[in-house]
Amino acid sequence: MDPSAIIASLLCLILSLITLGYLGVCAVSPFGPCRRCSGNGRGRTYRHCNRCDGTGRRIRIGRHLWNEIRREHRNGTQ
């Protein structure tokens, strides 16, 4: 095996580990802190944050995608 193939397979391994870790985080805690208000539920002007609807939490992209896939699957199988 030449060095570039070893590097490529290591890169693949690291990327799949990161993906698996992210999926694990999405499964364990589907919500993360809102980026716009950094989790306090208020915008910069101390008004109700529209992005998270004042909850200070936002759904993770991975979890959002998972919900979409589940919904599509359910619609398709009914």
Strands 57-59, 31-33: pairing is antiparallel
Q: At what angle are helices 3-28 and 61-77 packed, to 10 degrees?
A: 80
> In this complex, which beta carbon is closest to Zn ion, that of residue 47 or of residue 70?
47
Residues 33-52 that bind Zn ion (CB under 5 A): 34, 36-37, 49, 51-52
Residues 49-78 that bind Zn ion (CB under 5 A): 49, 51-52
* Length reported for the chain: 78
- Using CB under 5 A as the binding criterion, the count of chain residues that bind Zn ion stands at 6
In the complex, the residues that contact Zn ion under the rule CB under 5 A are: 34, 36-37, 49, 51-52
